[in-house]
A and B are shown apart, each in its own frame.
Chain A
Amino acid sequence: MTMAGTIRTAVAFAILVLLHYSLRPLLGWRAEIDFLLIALLLVAVRVRPGAAAVIGLALGLAADSLTPSAFGAGALAMSMVGFGASWLKAAFFADNLALNGFFFFAGRWAFAIIYVLAEHQQRGIELAQEMFVWAPLSGAVTAIAGVIALAVMRPLLEPQST
């Protein structure tokens, strides 16, 4: 990635992180849009898998600092999702909004499953509900938001040469 491309990606990343702490609480939905995950996937498909895992670790640790009892669970989930996303980018990094939407959906669902299993705070029906009801719903709204974000940020991420 060129220096200009790196800066553009960093700006998009920062915008998405800000949205996570501004638009998400403003909406207040039970099935939340995970802008941090969108930001991670956006970066992951542009870097090597190892770098994506490290970025996921850093992002996850920062986010986990608000939930000390599950500190590390988000980092673990984001590292694995970031690595997986970067690894699979050849398959999914097509200029197809539906594929990108599925990419966000699967990423958010995988994140939630790894997170709830790692944090060890839910069990039984509650765990099943989180994994198979709320996580897919959150994945769906994250996918929609991710596709919209990609469409809106396209001029920023992929400027057309004139």
Chain B
Amino acid sequence: MARAVASGIRADFGLLALSVSLSLAALALPAHLRDPVTSLLRRVFIAPLVALQSDAELARRAIVRHDADTDARDSIALRALEVPALEAENDRLRRALGLGRSLGWGFVPAEALHSRALGEEYTLTLTRGSRAGIRTFSPVVAPEGLVGMVETVDPTMSLAITWSHPDFRVSAMAADGSAFGIVKAHLGSGPERYLLELSGVQMSATLSPGTEIVSSGVGGVYPRGIPVGTVIGEVKTSEGWARTYLVQPAVKPFDVSSILVLEPKRVLAGMQSVWAGEDSAHRTVAPPGDSAAHRGGIIIPRDTVPETPADSADAADSGAGGAGGGAGGGGRGQP
């Protein structure tokens, strides 16, 4: 009896040692071995659950938006056309549409799903995968600028790291080309954790607060000209050979719901004029959107707003309505 108990205890500790060893081995796996394993696990076990999670998040947004819609209706009764929520949404969709039109071709629109679970604060789950043309290391952008980079791709979904991820790096420069450096997450504490820092700037280059920082195109992953942020001020470091600047990011990852993933051929084609031309592009689509929404002094639900050709193309491309469709613009592969 005692021997059986001792044998059972030995087996338990053996299985624990095996489990801990396998876990540590998984932690130590290099990326080229780890990614096929995680991809297999995601495809076999997690994909149906992520679809469930996607539906739950959409439901939550609908619930949260329901309160905003109710507030908006109350406001309409009091202040006819002044509906802040609708104006903000119009502005966001106009900007997304403007970016899509400016890009013109070579991008994949997708929904970004957020999770605040441990280890997932700095990643986004994208609702499109390799079947839609997404590849690893593709830049992820929003109308405001750079969001991050696709890390792993499955057939129907992808994972992207945002700029706040400790491993994120982008070669950047001042918009006027007066200084170059590397932008990475500022690993400070509290609110400063969600700032960026531009390091490695030569001592002779002085950047004033408000200077716009864009990707420089060096390295080939990110094309030149994507807005990264604006300089807040210089950070004093012990390095005597280079300057480091604190940068206010152009994009707040937690606010991003519709994103565009740039295809490799679009990255190669460059996009220096895309963000410069985005304002004019979105101005061209603003009047119809406003007039449709405010027709006759009443608010028309989004579903009943007449579709523009761009809307139709996007709906066909994304295959799913909602905000993700609005970001599509002309869709991918339309030179």
Contacts and interface: CB of A to CB of B under 8 A. Distances in A.
A28 B60 contact: yes
Contacts of A56: 19
A89 B297 CA distance: 66
A148 interface: no
A65 B40 CA distance: 9
| Chain A binding surface SS class | helix
Contacts of A20: 49
B34 interface: yes
Contact of A50 (B14, B46, B120, B190): B14
A26 B14 contact: no
Contacts of A115: 118-119
A64 B59 CA distance: 25
Nearest to B117: A32
A121 B119 contact: yes
Contacts of B117: 32
A36 to B, nearest CB: 10
Given A26-B60, A65-B42, A125-B190, A119 B16 contact: no
Interface stretch (B20-28, B237-245, B262-270, B285-293): B20-28
B159 A68 contact: yes
Interface residues of B, number: 58
Interface residues of A, number: 54
B206 to A, nearest CB: 29
A50 B15 contact: yes
Interface string B71-109: 000000000000000000000000000000000000000
Nearest to A87: B12
A65 B189 contact: no
Given A75-B22, A75-B26, A118-B27, A25 B57 contact: yes
A28 B117 CA distance: 10
B327 to A, nearest CB: 21
10 contacts: A29-B116, A53-B15, A63-B46, A69-B123, A74-B118, A76-B23, A87-B12, A112-B118, A121-B122, A125-B190
Interface of A: 17-18, 20-30, 32, 48-51, 53-54, 56-57, 60-76, 79-80, 83, 87, 112, 115-116, 118-119, 121, 123-126, 130
